[in-house]
Amino acid sequence: MKNTLRATLATVLLCTLTACAKKDEHAGHNHSAPAKHVHTAPHGGTLVELGDHAFNLELVRDPATGKLTAYVLDSHAESFVRISTPSFEITATVAGAKQKLSLVAVANAATGEKIGATSQFEATADWLKTTAAFDGVITALTIRDNPFKSVAFKLPQG
């Protein structure tokens, strides 16, 4: 009986120590916190969330041509959203100076998009050739009767 009691106590002690050691391995982790919701930009650009998970605008800078392309995307940045807007403006702050960009609607024969029903917009400026990062504000953009005004972003961070 004495040996059985010792064996039982030794097993309980070993299990307790093992459980505590495993618990300590995860000290500092919050397993109840929700995982961060992340979307991937389909063209490798910067995603700017519009509204509370309503839409995304992907901004892609081409330094060789000085072109900034904007794609209107759904809430998960998976599908293009065609809109009727002919153009919209972005105000960029470059080296302390404000620069306006007017992004105009672009037709795309490959996707069947045309002006008045497109998800793609473009602007060109010489300073885009040499400026890799800037703070910007989308002045006003309406997507499916949802107006978005003064949406701030950082290129390339989002």
**pLDDT tens digits for the chain (158 residues)?**
555 545 444 454 444 444 444 444 434 444 444 545 568 888 899 999 999 999 999 999 999 999 999 999 999 999 999 999 999 999 999 999 999 999 999 999 888 999 999 999 999 999 999 999 999 999 999 999 999 999 999 999 86
The predicted pLDDT at position 37 comes to 55
Give 46-155's CATH code, choosing from 1.20.120, 3.30.450, 1.10.3470, 2.60.40.
2.60.40
Half-sphere exposure of 102 (CA within 13 A, CB side): 4
Give this prediction's pTM: 0.76
Beta bridge partners of 62: 67
The residues, ordered by sequence, that sit 6+ positions from 23 with a Cβ below 8 Å of its Cβ are none
- Domains of the chain, by residue range, sit at 1-30, 46-155
What ranges make up the beta strands (E) of 32-143?
A: 46-50, 55-62, 67-73, 87-94, 97-105, 120-124, 134-143
**In residues, how long is the chain?**
158
Residue reference for tokens 């153009």: 87
